[in-house]
Chain A
Amino acid sequence: MEKINIIIDNKPLQVEKGQTVLKAARAAGIDIPTLCYYELDGVKLENRPGGCRMCVVEIEGRKNLAPACATEVAEGMVIHTCSLRVVNARRTVLELILSDHPADCLICPKSGKCELQDLAQRLGVREIPYQGEQSTYRKDMSPAIIRDVDKCVMCRRCETVCNVWQTVGALSAVNRGFQAVVAPAFEQDLAKSPCTMCGQCVMACPVGALSEVDLTRQVITAISDPKKTVVVQTAPAVRVALGEEFGMEPGSIVTGQMASALRRIGFDYIFDTDFAADLTIMEEGTELLTRIDKFTKGDKNVKLPILTSCCPGWVNFFETNYPDMLDVPSTAKSPQQMFGAVAKNYLANKLGIKREDMVVVSIMPCVAKKFESQREEFKENGNPDVDYSLTTRELAELIRQFNIDFKTLPVEDFDNPLGESTGAAVIFGATGGVIEAATRTAYELFTGKKLEKVDFTELRGLEGVREATVDFNGTPIKIGIAHGLSNARKLLDEVKKGNSGFHAIEVMACPGGCIGGAGQPFHHGNFDIIRKRQEAIYREDAGKPIRKSHENPYIQTLYKEWLGAPCGEISHHLLHTHYFDKSKHIEIEG
């Protein structure tokens, strides 16, 4: 890589040619404030409209200030990031943005995590000299996401994420001038657009214009009700991110502290979605092996590859975009929903309580899980298997509301029987993890042999699309992995053509998988945080005494006591689902 010489704030630097002033400065530890710029370097996603001008710098010899995020470095460039002229310009830009921004920081869901609020503090704004007109756009609430576009600063990060990373295209900048907002087509509700509820737009939004539906009050009400038995489950990716909300290093594993926090909040049973992840592997793995078996015996009706079905954003996506392929994905419910079904049927029965008196709460790294939990097919007489799905951030909010000093909590265990899990379940939280977990079990069931090495490192990583062939004792099994719906689309289009040769494909909608889910603590585009969560997931797996789902003793008991065999009668009824054609989703209001 060719190096060139530049000077930033009197610091002579040798930097790579072709990069922006912003990147060169950040690499040298000089942080230029930005607003519209958003980057996920781990998945090569960039929003760089160069529109907000928050990042202006002075370049000697140039008349005008230049946006650092959109200006390339050049040999001999002398740059000032905090000259008086820059500081004044930056402040004016910010004051103009603030002039028509609602000042409801006190009650804004983004308060404390808002990049605009941060900038106002950092630049010491104490009054807003310009008074712009305030817009009063209607609020829009889908089952998972709230749009309050009066707060929109038109950075268009959400639009880029939705269009480029997800290829969903639910959002676009519409209108112009003062009326300009980011909205779905025809300014209809998000729920009527092709939105998958993945929530990556919420993760990307620097301000409070996009946020998740907050259910913490409902959960507190349920806990306070003596008639209710409140059961909580926590998804794999939550335990490697929750600590960040309390100032701990990214990648800290806080499984034990999380369990004790949940107990202190007052949940009656602290269980683990990981248990249900092991169950998912039993069902999905069996389904895969059955399909392979039928296929090799020449059954023309059997569909290969099998597609994973744990990710609700992904499920929404294929229901909308691939209605002719609804019989391809696994019918296994997601771990969240498997847990709900087991809790409200098996556990309620064991505890001798009525379904209506049990409330199941899930803690998820995800925004789309809120929608999934409210799907009609996951309810019995209107009573959902999972009552409230909270994000990692909402759990942190609960912990703060209950005055719990998270960092000093003792390490505690989950309750039994739905709290025990294997390393295979933990890795569900990272891209490639579900298929690795399935491979560990499917290999042993298929070959009847013991796996010598449970780590399938060839399935791990952050490439958008990955492929690997695993040798099942002479039978090559071809596996595909995609994270990001844009990447899923690439694989799906291959499958559609019919000659992809894949046996199984795993898809997760979010960057890095659930660890980069939209319900996780905000990373503001710092991808290193996601990398550290990923390392933590594999560390947690490596430290588990049991690392294959079918060896989980409580899973074995569940089959013995209740389910019978994987994909059997009860499983079919309670642990599997079906999909709907949602391609006509775009309705025009009459």
Chain B
Amino acid sequence: MAKVKLSESKINKIKEICASFGNKPGEAINVLHKVQGEFGYLPAEVQEVIAQELNVSVAQIYGIVTFYSFFTMTPKGEFPISVCMGTACYVRGAEKVLDEFKRELKIGVGQTTPDGKFSLNCLRCVGACGLAPVVLIGEKVYGRLTPDGVKDILNEYRS
């Protein structure tokens, strides 16, 4: 696990969020949601501050973070990749495309490459079914993608 040093201002921000929920243990999910919205992810140190503020054990906070797939402990990559797994995309081979991304980047779903460039995630239908299978990289949409096309697209961002 990478060590993350938290700045004073970050810690204060977390405390502020906890306080806005009355420091209530029952609000842990909402607190985590908001904090992740603020920082993008929930490293161990952040969870420790939250546990302290809400007066629950770190183990319990970690329990919540690992229970809901929405929460993540790894920072998103510079270029977050989202593969649509809606029905249309799935039927038209999204899984093969996803596998190709995994192979190319040597990471799994929910992970980030060691250089911090790419992270890989799945999405529910993005409503662009006409373009299935669809992949988002950042804000950019790639349609009708085949496994063969994956490498070229990645190269656009690699340099």
Interface residues of chain A, those whose CB is within 8 Å of chain B, are: 163, 168-176, 183-187, 193-194, 586, 588-590
- A171: chain B residues within 8 A (beta carbon): 59
Identify which of B40-48, B95-103, B149-157 touches chain A.
B40-48
What are some 12 contacts across the A-B interface (CB < 8 A)? A168-B57, A169-B57, A169-B59, A172-B59, A172-B60, A175-B67, A187-B62, A586-B58, A588-B3, A588-B45, A589-B1, A590-B2
| Separation of A172 and B2 alpha carbons in the complex (Å) | 22
- Chain B CB within 10 Å — which of A168, A588, A589 has the most? A588
Q: How far is the CB of A248 from chain B (nearest CB, A)?
A: 39
B137: interface (CB < 8 Å): no
- B4: chain A residues within 8 A (beta carbon): 588
Given contacts A170-B59, A187-B62, A588-B44, 4 further A-B contacts (CB under 8 A): A163-B57, A169-B56, A172-B62, A186-B62
| Separation of A173 and B61 alpha carbons in the complex (Å) | 10
Count B-side interface residues using an 8 Å CB cutoff: 18
B67→A176 contact, CB < 8 A: yes
Q: How far is the CB of B14 from chain A (nearest CB, A)?
A: 16
- B58: chain A residues within 8 A (beta carbon): 169, 185-186, 586
- B130: chain A residues within 8 A (beta carbon): none
Q: How far is the CB of B88 from chain A (nearest CB, A)?
A: 26
Against A, the Cβ 8 Å flags (1 = close, 0 = not) of B131-142 are 000000000000
A586→B48 contact, CB < 8 A: yes
- Beyond A185-B44, A185-B47, A186-B44, whether A588 also contacts B62 by CB under 8 A is no
B12: interface (CB < 8 Å): no
B87: interface (CB < 8 Å): no
Task: Name the CB-closest residue of B to A179.
Answer: B66
A174→B57 contact, CB < 8 A: no
- A193: chain B residues within 8 A (beta carbon): 59
B48→A184 contact, CB < 8 A: no
B63→A172 contact, CB < 8 A: yes
| Separation of A588 and B47 alpha carbons in the complex (Å) | 12
Against A, the Cβ 8 Å flags (1 = close, 0 = not) of B21-32 are 000000000000
- B67: chain A residues within 8 A (beta carbon): 173-176
- B48: chain A residues within 8 A (beta carbon): 586
- Chain B CB within 10 Å — which of A175, A186, A187 has the most? A186
| Separation of A173 and B62 alpha carbons in the complex (Å) | 9
| Separation of A169 and B54 alpha carbons in the complex (Å) | 13
| Separation of A187 and B48 alpha carbons in the complex (Å) | 14
- B60: chain A residues within 8 A (beta carbon): 163, 169, 172
| Separation of A10 and B4 alpha carbons in the complex (Å) | 64
- B47: chain A residues within 8 A (beta carbon): 185
- A588: chain B residues within 8 A (beta carbon): 1, 3-4, 44-45
- Beyond A586-B48, A588-B3, A588-B44, whether A185 also contacts B66 by CB under 8 A is no
| Separation of A168 and B63 alpha carbons in the complex (Å) | 15
Task: Name the CB-closest residue of A to B48.
Answer: A586
A184→B59 contact, CB < 8 A: yes
| Separation of A171 and B71 alpha carbons in the complex (Å) | 20
Task: Name the CB-closest residue of B to A167.
Answer: B57
A170→B57 contact, CB < 8 A: yes
Task: Name the CB-closest residue of A to B60.
Answer: A172
- Chain A CB within 10 Å — which of B1, B61, B62 has the most? B62
A175→B59 contact, CB < 8 A: no
B66→A174 contact, CB < 8 A: yes
| Separation of A184 and B58 alpha carbons in the complex (Å) | 8
| Separation of A540 and B3 alpha carbons in the complex (Å) | 55
- Beyond A185-B57, A589-B1, A590-B2, whether A174 also contacts B62 by CB under 8 A is yes
